[in-house]
A and B are shown apart, each in its own frame.
Chain A
Amino acid sequence: MIAANEHRRVVITGLGAVTAFGRGAMQTWRAIVDGRSGVTARHPFENSANPLQVAGYVDIACLEGFGNEKYLGRAAQFGLAAGLDAYVDAGLTPGTPHAQKIGVCLGASTFPVIEDRLDRLGSLLDGSRWNAQCYAQLCRERPWLLTQSDAASISSLLSDRLGFEGPSLTVQAACTSATQAIGHAFHSLRAGQATVMLAGGTDSMLSMMCVTGFALLGSLAQRWSSPAQASRPFDRTRDGFVLAEGATVLVLEELHHALARDARIYAELLGYGSSCDAYRLTDMQPEGRGAALCMQAALRDAQVLPEEVGYINAHGTATPLNDRIETHAIRQVFGSHADHGLAVSSTKSQLGHLLCAAGAVELMVTALALHDKILPPTLNLENPDPECNLDYIPGLARPAAVNVAISNSFGFGGQNGSLVLRRWPQPAEASSAAVSIPPLAVTRRVCITGIGVHSPLGFDLSSHVLRWREGHSGTESPATPEMQALGIPHAGRVPGFEPHNRIANRMLRKILTPAAGFAVAAAGEALHRSGLQPAEIEKLSLFVGSLGLDQDLNTFGEALRQSLEPALPGLEPNPSEPSASASAPERFSYSRFHKHGMSLIDPLFLLKSLPNAGLCGAAIEHGMQGANLNIMNGSTSGLIAVSAAADSIFRGDTPVALAGGYDSLVQLETVLAHLIDGRLRTGKEGGNGSGYLPSEGAAFFFLEEEAHAHARGAHIFAEIAASAVTHSPSGTPPEQGAVAALERAARASAAAEPPTEYPSCTAPNAVFGDGLNLAGHDALEAEVLRRIGCRLRGIPLHSTVSRLGFAGAATGLFSLLHAALTIDGQLSFAGMANPEQPPEKLLVWTSDRGRNHVAIALRRSPDTAATEAAPCEP
C-alpha cells in the first residue's frame, strides 16, 4: 500500500510510435540500432520542377486501418495510432476500470495549413486579403478545414477512443512540447492524481507554409550531399536541422499498479526538470544557462548525482548554435564526468527533428537503450568540431549497460526540458529497485497574492474593476471588417493596446501578436502587484494557458495572390463557386509560389504565430527562468494552467508561481470555427440562446504558499482550496465529467475542514461558470449545478460573458479573477446574500464544448479580512 502522503514511483510500461521507419515502436528502435537514416528526399508538391525537400516523411500507408480518418490531419492520425498501439503494448484494454484515474497528455502543434484551400484560392482572395464570406462558404462545405488545425482535439480523440475520464491535455512548448507533456504527466502520477497516463507527442509540419516558415528562418539544413547525410548533429559542417513528422506515445504507470498486473517495465521515469532561457526567442542563451538549469533541475527531481548518468540523448538539432551550446551546458553540469563514462548521441541524426513529438520519440529511444543495453549512435559525424568535444557515439550503436540516462529538449522561445530515466532491473538480476523518494510534505495552502489583467474593459486591474463596477460592457467595440462581413457587428477588443507603452523588450514588441502582448503585460502586472523580490522572480515557475492558432491569414495574402496563374484555356468556371467574376478562376501554382510568392512572406511569421509566444515572451520580458508549462486545451487552457500551478505548490515543488493565460477570438479562422458551430451572435439582437460575441484578453495570478505570503506580509485575495480536471469521452454524458470535476474540487476543498457530510459543508456561495447563452451549453451547466445541489439551495451562477464576450481561454480566468475579488470584498454579484459580507466559498469552472472540464474551489483565507489593503483600487 502507498501512504497518502508518499510520492509514487512511475514506470514506462507501453510504447507506440509512428516515424519515418514505419508504425510500431520496435520498427523504429531496430532501425535506430542498425544505424539507418529515415530521411528521404521528395518533390513535396504537385510540380516536380520544385526543388527536392529532405525530411523524415511518414508513409501514411503504414497506418492502414485508419481509413475512416481521412479528414483528420496527419498529426492526429499519427498520434491516435501511436496512442492506441502504446496502450495495447502495455497490455491494457479499453474499458479498463478506474477510467477517472487514466488520462492523456500530448505535445502537439497548431500551424497554418493552406493546402486544402488552394483549389479555391482564386475566389478566396480579394486582392491580397481573404474574403471572409467566401472562406466561410468553403469551410461550411469542408468543415475539416477548421478542425484539422485544432491540435487540442488529438488528446481528446485518444481519450475518447479509450474511454478515459482523467485529464486530457495538450501541451505546446515548441520543440520541448513532448518532453514537457511527459514531465507534467509524470508529476501528476507521482502526486497520485492519476494511475496511468498516456503521454508523448505528435507532429507533422511538412505542409507548404510550415516548410516555408522554417526555410525563411534559415533553420533547415541546406548544404547536404545526400538525404541520409543531411542531418549532421555535432559535425563541424552542420548547418541546420531536417524536418520530420511522426508521433510517439508512452504509457506511464504508477509502479504498484504496474506490478499488480505484472506489466512489462521498460524503464523507470525518475525525474523531470524544466527551465526558461528568458533570453531570446530563437537564439539560445550563449552560456547554455537554461539548458544547464533544466538538466540540474531534472537530476535534483530524480535525486541522482551527475556521476550516475551514463548516457544523454541530446537535443542535438544540428544547428550550429544548439550543438555547441548544448555541449557547453553538458560540460557545466557534469564537469569532468563529461569526459569519463558519459556518452551522448542525437537521434535527430537518424530521424530528423520531429518538433513537438521529438522529446517523446527520443525518450522512447533512451528507455529502450537502457532496457536493451545498447546506446544509439550519432550518424554523419565525420568532421569533428573542436567546440563539440564529447563522446557522441559516432556512426555505430554501442553495447553498454547504463543505469541512468537523460533526454533533453530545448525549444524555440527558450523553453527547456530534461527527463531522467533509470534502467529497470530484469527479473534475472538482483532487485536494485529501492529508491529513496521524499515523502510529500504536510498539506500546504495556496493563495492568490497578485492579479494582472488585460480585458475589453481596460488594461490593468484598476480600470477593469472600476469599469465593471460602473456597469460598462466590454463588447461594444466595432468588430474587424472580416467579422462585420460575417454579420458580427461588435466584439470585445482590448482598447488601444500599444506595445510601446507595455513591453520593454524590443524584439518582443516586434514579434508578439497583440494577444501574446496582453499576456506579457498582464503577467507583468500580476508580478508587480505581488511585490516579489527580483531574486525570487528569476526562479519563478510560470504556467500559461494559451490560445491555439494565432495566425492572420492575410500575412500570406500577397504571396498567394502572386502565386496564382490564369486557368488553362477551355476550363469552365465552376458554377457552384461563389465567384464574382464569370471568367475562368485563377489557379494556384506551386512553382510560382516558390519562385515569386515565398519572397513576399514575412520571414518571421512562424515565430509570430508560436502558440507558446505568450509564455516565452513573459519569461523574456520579466526574466523568469524557473519551471514552466504551456497548456493548449482550447477554452479550458487558462484554468488548467492555474490548476497545475496550484498543484505544484501543493506538492512543494515551489513556494511561488505565476499562472494565467490569454486568448483572442478575432482571427478569421477562429471566428469561423465559432460562427459555423452556431456559437457566435450575429445581428444586433442578443436574445436567449443566441450565442456570444467574440472577445479577447489575458489574466494572470500570482500564486503563493500561504506561509510564504505571511512571511512577507503579502495581501491575500483568496485561497485556492482545490482544483480538478476531467474529460468526458464521447458516448458518456458530458455532464458526468463536469459534475466529477466540480465535485472533486468541492470535496477536496472540504477535506481540510471539519468532516461534515458532503455536500452541505462544501456548498459554495456561488458558482462562476460559463453562461455562454447557448441552449446546449446552458442546459449542461444547469444540469451540472442541479446535480451538485446548487439548484436546491438557490446558489447562483455568475458569468462574465454577457459583458466581456467570450474570450476562450481568458474567459475562465476572468471568472477566477471576479471570484477572487468577490471573496476579497472588492466586487459583488447579483444574488449575493449580503453584499456587505463577502462570501466564504466560490467555485469557478469552465467546460470546453462538453469535452474537458476544470473546476477550482476558492475560499476566503482566514487572513483575508486581516489585511487592509485594497490593491485594485485605482
Chain B
Amino acid sequence: MTALPASFSTPFAHSVPDVEQRVLLVVARSLDRDPATIDLNSRLFVDLDAESLDMLDIAYSLERTFCIRMPRVNLLQRASDLFSEQAILKDGIVTETGMDLMRRSMPEIPENWIKPGMRVYDFRLLITVESLARVVHRCLEAVARLCCSQCGGAAVPNSEFSMAMICADCGHTIELPSGEHLLVDDLRRVGEEMHLPIVGEPA
C-alpha cells in the first residue's frame, strides 16, 4: 500500500471539510476505489462492499493519518453496558429507546435508516464515510484540548513518537485520548438528554 502524502501526518489542520476530505481518501484507498466514486453519504458495508476486516484497516489508517485513537466498539453494546440491556435491546432487536439513542448519537444518519426490527449487528450497516469523519473530528477536538498533567503546558506533536504528544514546556509525554472513553462520554451525555439512568460501567 502506498504511503499517504506527508502533509496528511500534520495533526492539527482540521476544519470539518478538510477532515471529511481526508477521511474520504483514506476510505477510498483502503477499499481500493476511485475517491470520485465515493461521497460522504456512502455507507461502507452497503454501498462500498466493506468487510469487517476493512473497518480494522480503516480505523488503523485514520489513527495513523490524524494521530488519534479511534474507538473500536459497537455503540449498542456499550450502551447496553451503561443503560442496561433491556433498555437498548429486546430479544436481540433494538428497542425504541435504543433507536432514539442511535439517532441522537449519529446525527449524520438520515432518521429513516434507523428502522424498527434492527438487530445489534445491523448497526454497522448504518456507518457512512461521514460517520467516520464525525468520530475523527471528535477525537481531534479532544486532542486539541490536551495539556500537560504535570505543568499544564501545551501539548505538541512528539517528533520521536507519532502516537503520543509531548509537553512543550516540560517534555512530559502526554497520552492521546482513548476513542473508547470519548464514545462512552458521548453516550453518557446522550443518556442524560434522554433521562436514561446509568446502571453499570463498561467492562
Interface residues of A (CB under 8 A from B): 216-218, 222-225, 236-237, 239, 280-283, 320-321, 385-387, 506-507, 509-511, 562, 595-596, 599-600, 602-604, 607
**Contacting pair B69 A225 (CB below 8 A):** no
Assembly CA distance A599 to B91 (angstroms):
36
**Contacting pair A218 B56 (CB below 8 A):** yes
What would 9 more interface pairs be, CB under 8 Å, given A224-B203, A510-B57, A599-B63? A216-B56, A223-B81, A225-B203, A236-B92, A283-B53, A507-B51, A507-B54, A562-B161, A599-B163
CB within 8 Å for A604 and B175 given contacts A225-B203, A387-B92, A506-B31: no
B60 CB contacts on chain A under 8 angstroms: 602-603
Instruction: Write the chain B residue with the least CB distance to A600.
Output: B163
A602 CB contacts on chain B under 8 angstroms: 60
| Interface: B193 (CB within 8 A) | no
Q: Which of B52, B53, B81, B203 has the most CB of A within 10 A?
A: B53
**Contacting pair B163 A603 (CB below 8 A):** no
| Interface: B164 (CB within 8 A) | yes
Assembly CA distance A280 to B64 (angstroms):
26
Instruction: Encode B33-76 as 1/0 by CB contact (under 8 A) with A.
Output: 00000000000000001011110110110011000010010000
B51 CB contacts on chain A under 8 angstroms: 280, 282-283, 507
20 A-B pairs whose Cβ atoms sit less than 8 Å apart in the complex: A216-B56, A217-B56, A218-B72, A223-B81, A225-B203, A237-B85, A282-B51, A283-B53, A321-B121, A506-B31, A507-B53, A510-B32, A511-B53, A562-B163, A596-B164, A599-B163, A600-B64, A600-B162, A603-B59, A604-B57
| Interface: B77 (CB within 8 A) | yes
**Contacting pair A603 B57 (CB below 8 A):** yes
**Contacting pair A596 B161 (CB below 8 A):** yes
Report the minimal beta-carbon distance from A166 to chain B, rounded to whole angstroms.
Answer: 40
B53 CB contacts on chain A under 8 angstroms: 280-283, 507, 511, 604, 607
* 4 closest residue pairs by CB, A with B: A223-B203, A603-B56, A386-B91, A506-B32
Give B152-173 interface residues, CB cut-off 8 Å to A. 161-164
Assembly CA distance A33 to B164 (angstroms):
49
Q: How many A-B residue pairs have CB under 8 A?
A: 62
Instruction: Write the chain B residue with the least CB distance to A282.
Output: B53
A321 CB contacts on chain B under 8 angstroms: 121
Instruction: Write the chain B residue with the least CB distance to A603.
Output: B56
Assembly CA distance A223 to B74 (angstroms):
12
**Contacting pair A282 B52 (CB below 8 A):** yes
Report the minimal beta-carbon distance from B79 to chain A, rounded to whole angstroms.
Answer: 13
B77 CB contacts on chain A under 8 angstroms: 223, 239
Instruction: Encode B1-27 as 1/0 by CB contact (under 8 A) with A.
Output: 100000000000000000000000000
A236 CB contacts on chain B under 8 angstroms: 92
Assembly CA distance A744 to B89 (angstroms):
64
A224 CB contacts on chain B under 8 angstroms: 203
A239 CB contacts on chain B under 8 angstroms: 77
Instruction: Write the chain B residue with the least CB distance to A280.
Output: B51
Which one, A222, A386, A604, contacts B203 given CB within 8 A? Answer: A222
Assembly CA distance A784 to B162 (angstroms):
59
**Contacting pair B56 A385 (CB below 8 A):** no
B202 CB contacts on chain A under 8 angstroms: 223
Report the minimal beta-carbon distance from B132 to chain A, rounded to whole angstroms.
Answer: 16
Assembly CA distance A218 to B53 (angstroms):
10
